[in-house]
Structure 1
Amino acid sequence: MATFAIGDIHGCWTALETLLEQVPIQEDDLVITLGDYVDRGPESARVLDWVMNQSANERFIALRGNHELMMLAASKAQMNPEHWLACGGSETLTSYQQTSQRRIPNIKDISPQHLDFIKYDLRPYHETETHIFVHAYVYEDAALDDQDESALYWERFDLIRPHKSGKKVICGHTAQRSGLPANRQHAVCIDTWVYGDGWLTCLEVESGQYWQANQKRKHRSDWLEV
């Protein structure tokens, strides 16, 4: 039984579909997605449909990212929608317009089922005997239940320190524009900028092997650098 983590998808369905064709995931393997399913890429609605469907499987764990929080807050008028639109929300609205009768994208087009899924079903983190999975970051001296939202969803990977549990942290959020995962030994960031000119990454955490695909349907595989 292996554990696979998939980094920030950001509405890039073509890259996700290509990636899943390459990764040798078996029925009893654990798959963890690290959040940021929406914004910036062209098919956020389709990506969220996939995440929702996969979440019916107990061997699939879906975490929440900061872009899901922004999308939810904008839809509930808890933040200025223009801020979300400027952070990639405009592409997300366009992806929902495909199933709407409106000629102009509207925040009311967002699926209520998707909003409920983001609010109630996505998780802030997941922990195994050896690893911590989180969207963005964990403060080194705080238990997971005591982490605040600024760490879990917003802090950058740059200054991450070893967690007091001794477990390795697997996260996304901080785009690695090199297209390669960042390996600090005690923490690995697998947001590899798929919505830009980078790749979508899936990491097998036990072995350190990873697979990547991009929006041009190219794919490749390598191992974490030590």
Structure 2
Amino acid sequence: MSRTLVIGDIHGALKALIQILDRAKVTPQDHLIFLGDYVDGWSDAAETIDYLIQLKSTHNCTFIRGNHDELANDWLKNGKNNPTWLIHGGQVTADSYKPYNQEDRNIHIGFNDQLENYYIDDQNRLFLHAGFTNLKGVNFEYFSKMFYWDRTLWELALSIDPLLTKEDSNFPKRLAQYQEIYIGHTPVTRIGKTTPVQAVNVWNIDTGAAFKGPLTILDVNTKEFWQSEPVYQLYPLEKGRN
């Protein structure tokens, strides 16, 4: 039986990705939805993109664009070092590309260019990296960068009384547009958690793999999830984004 599985922010932790795909017993029949931020953190950044490109040839994959993916792609295209990007995980990504020739880099640029800003399934479940601001939903968003930079959607979800339902007139209109919303971007470790967190109908799957948390894969139908070891333990000689 096929499953819809959503994967949180990887940040170059290829070892953790391989671990969770194995622990979840992923098959080619499953639909894998990756929420973005594939690079910037651990040393396997470029190798992670190689792995994802290969995975797409054998599995049903949807790849969402993260803010770090756009930053890294800008660097791949123009070669200019963005100081802010470098200190937020970009340096280790740039280092991982040193063995790659231009032809290989162009393949990765093509992968990044084809990333999706969001995905909506046939049950009106929305998957995106960060958030959106338009009350009518993602199709009406004026600023596409919000899809991978916004944090207000998660902040809003956390602030809502959990007893409030979508039928209540006070329920935020932008959240009510969808059955469920799955995001990454803001690690739940910021609120002291290392497992997926639900706030009303929003699920945050970023369990802090870039820092000291694990990487997570979650079955959106059953809410069963599998996690890697804390990623810093898989890369003991590195700091990640700590």
Give the TM bin, normalised by the shorter chain. Answer: 0.7 to 0.9
Query: Is 1:20 paired with 2:17?
Result: no
Structural RMSD (CA): 2.2
User: Could you say which residue in structure 2 is the equivalent of 1:62?
Assistant: 63
Indicate the percent of aligned positions where both proteins have the same amino acid.
28
Query: Is 1:128 paired with 2:121?
Result: yes
User: Could you say which residue in structure 2 is the equivalent of 1:181?
Assistant: 196
Which digits, 9 at most, give the CA deviation of each residue in 1:180-201, with x for residues without a partner? Answer: 2121131101111112110101
Give the Cα–Cα distance (whole angstroms) in 2 for the partners of residues 155 and 79 of structure 1. 25
User: Could you say which residue in structure 2 is the equivalent of 1:37?
Assistant: 38
Give the Cα–Cα distance (whole angstroms) in 2 for the partners of residues 61 and 34 of structure 1. 9
CA contact (8 A) 1:37 1:44 kept: yes
Give the Cα–Cα distance (whole angstroms) in 2 for the partners of residues 150 and 69 of structure 1. 10
Query: Is 1:193 paired with 2:208?
Result: yes
Give the Cα–Cα distance (whole angstroms) in 1 for the partners of residues 77 and 100 of structure 2. 21
Give the Cα–Cα distance (whole angstroms) in 2 for the partners of residues 140 and 206 of structure 1. 27
CA contact (8 A) 1:74 1:84 kept: no
User: Against the structure 1 CA distance between its residues 109 and 43, is the aligned structure 2 distance closer, same or farther, given a 3 Å change threshold?
Assistant: farther
Query: Is 1:203 paired with 2:215?
Result: no
User: Against the structure 1 CA distance between its residues 143 and 58, is the aligned structure 2 distance closer, same or farther, given a 3 Å change threshold?
Assistant: farther
SS of corresponding position for 1:136? coil
SS of corresponding position for 1:163? helix
Give the Cα–Cα distance (whole angstroms) in 2 for the partners of residues 6 and 166 of structure 1. 19
Give the Cα–Cα distance (whole angstroms) in 2 for the partners of residues 42 and 159 of structure 1. 34
Query: Is 1:146 paired with 2:140?
Result: yes
Amino acid at match of 2:186: T
Query: Is 1:171 paired with 2:168?
Result: no
User: Against the structure 1 CA distance between its residues 189 and 140, is the aligned structure 2 distance closer, same or farther, given a 3 Å change threshold?
Assistant: farther
CA contact (8 A) 1:10 1:41 kept: yes
What TM-score do you get using the length of structure 2 for normalisation?
A: 0.78
Query: Is 1:159 paired with 2:156?
Result: yes
Give the Cα–Cα distance (whole angstroms) in 1 for the partners of residues 80 and 99 of structure 2. 25
Q: How many residues align?
A: 209
Moved more, 25-34 or 72-81: 72-81
- CA positional deviation for 1:79: 7.1
What TM-score do you get using the length of structure 1 for normalisation?
A: 0.84
Give the Cα–Cα distance (whole angstroms) in 1 for the partners of residues 220 and 120 of structure 2. 13
Which digits, 9 at most, give the CA deviation of each residue in 1:72-101, with x for residues without a partner? Answer: 22334497522211111101011122446x
User: Could you say which residue in structure 2 is the equivalent of 1:2?
Assistant: 3
User: Could you say which residue in structure 2 is the equivalent of 1:97?
Assistant: 98
Amino acid at match of 2:117: P
